[in-house]
Amino acid sequence: MTPRLPRRRAACLLATALPSLAACNGPQSTFNSAGAEAGSVLTLFWVMLAGAALIWLIVVGISVYVTKVRPGAHSDRTGVHLIVWGGCVFPVVVLGVLLYVGLTMMPGLRGAADGAKIAVSGERFWWRVNYGVEGTPGVAKSLPGGGVESANELYLPVGKRTEILLGSPDVIHSFWVPAIAGKTDAIPGRVNRLVLAPTRLGVFNGVCAEFCGDAHAQMGFRVVVVSEADYAARIAAEAEPAAVIDHPGRALFMGNGCNACHAVRGTEAAGRVGPDLTHLGSRKTLGAGLLPVTAENISRFIRETDHTKPGVEMPAFHTLSEADAAAIAAWLGALT
């Protein structure tokens, strides 16, 4: 084998690895840490990686020593020492230290919240968000009143510890914003608590991390971290009814029964089965993190729901004419 081949292989490996490394820095990456808990987890990861690299070097060193440097037979005493120290004592010490480091991190991460309380319910296949609730989201369709309802987007104030109350009406989901904190399950019949403590501003991606059905992989959301003042302004804006404009799409929305499942506060639409659409036009995504909110995408989502997001609960309105769907989409898109 010429010495060129391994060099070429190394270059190929590097070329493959570099884009993967670049992908580590996106809005959905644990390496792009933007939260107290994610930061601790990342530190633990680097400690474990450094430890694993060191142990790997030691093991490879011993292998090279016994095969290349001193390939002959070794005494029984050396063998026993290797097993006792390398096989028993060393792993116990390493795992003990790791356990200690992990346990000492936990009290800080599980500390009390000092910010708002937000109920988040995992639905099939989207996220119901309710700001400012005092109760629990045990059964999503009976979320306590008083909060401000939204969907698939979560605003958080930077530097505050916000408590998320997680529930689900039917199947288990897992709420995960990799850049901010570890994942926590949303389980029917109980309320799990998670504290999110974002450390810097930005928009981060969240996902459902537990297989929950056909559209599991399309059950995303956005977390928007803003200043405390912007957070208060945002919640005040969310609490307002829709800026309803006079548009033929409104009558079509009601006439085709969309209001049976969706609420648009400020109109007669008060359905609670699907996402609240009061401020759909101001959201970053449509279909739970799936598409940008544009009139074209809304129209397509209404008529081809089964193609755009297979497995979703909403029926596809194939029977709706393109013009009618476009009118509804234009109205919904204008709800900021």
Q: Point out which residues bind ligand CUA (CB under 6 A).
A: 122, 125, 173, 208, 210-212, 216, 219
Give min distance, CB of 190 to ligand CUA, in A: 16
Q: How far is CA 223 from CA 60, 88, 289, in A?
A: 44, 45, 10
Give the integer Cα–Cα distance in Å for 267 and 258. Answer: 12
Nearer to ligand CUA, 165 or 335 (CB): 165
Give min distance, CB of 47 to ligand CUA, in A: 31
Give the integer Cα–Cα distance in Å for 309 and 246. Answer: 30
Give min distance, CB of 127 to ligand CUA, in A: 9
Task: Using the structure block, give the residue that is written with the tokens 């596809």.
Answer: 316
SS3 307: helix
Nearer to ligand CUA, 141 or 318 (CB): 141
Nearer to ligand CUA, 122 or 206 (CB): 122
Q: How many residues does the chain have?
A: 336
Give min distance, CB of 186 to ligand CUA, in A: 8
Give min distance, CB of 176 to ligand CUA, in A: 10
Q: How many CB atoms lie within 10 A of CB 220?
A: 19
- Least Cα distance to 335 among 293, 287, 274 occurs for 293
Give min distance, CB of 106 to ligand CUA, in A: 26
Nearer to ligand CUA, 210 or 238 (CB): 210
Task: Using the structure block, give the residue that is written with the tokens 């085709």.
Answer: 256
Task: Using the structure block, give the residue that is written with the tokens 């959905």.
Answer: 28
Give the integer Cα–Cα distance in Å for 303 and 286. Answer: 14
Nearer to ligand CUA, 209 or 261 (CB): 209
Nearer to ligand CUA, 214 or 296 (CB): 214
Give min distance, CB of 314 to ligand CUA, in A: 15
Nearer to ligand CUA, 42 or 291 (CB): 291
Taking a C-beta distance cutoff of 8 angstroms, is the pair 120, 154 a contact?
yes
DSSP H helical ranges for the chain: 4-23, 36-64, 76-81, 90-109, 228-239, 248-255, 295-303, 305-308, 322-333
